[in-house]
Amino acid sequence: MQTIIEYTNTKIPENRFPSRIVSPPQSSACCFSAMEEVGAPWVDGRWLVQYKRCRDCGFTVRAIVRYLPDPALGAQLRKILRTVFQRMP
């Protein structure tokens, strides 16, 4: 997983989304209530992810929004369930 976030204590936090974000390496107390979404969510493998950044201190993380189910596995499950329910009286 590649990221545009650079974690450092030597630079001022900076949001240059979508090319780069400079973030402190650790969260602060303000991050609990001041996190906001940066950009739109995107697909990375089987995950929908999005950057979240603290409005106050600039701490940024790559957050998982949700897992994306496997369409082939879902189709296989639907086929099995149809077969089972067709056999029921």
Beta bridge partners of residue 5, listed in sequence order: 21
Q: Where are the alpha helices (DSSP H) in the chain?
A: 31-34, 71-87
Q: The domain containing residue 54 runs over which residues?
A: 5-87
The whole-angstrom separation of Cα 69 and Cα 89 is 31
Residue 76: pLDDT band by 50, 70, 90 thresholds? very high
Beta strands in the chain (DSSP E): 5-7, 14-16, 20-23, 35-44, 47-54, 60-67
Count of structural domains within the chain: 1
pLDDT at residue 48, rounded to an integer? 96
What mean pLDDT is predicted for residues 13-42? 96
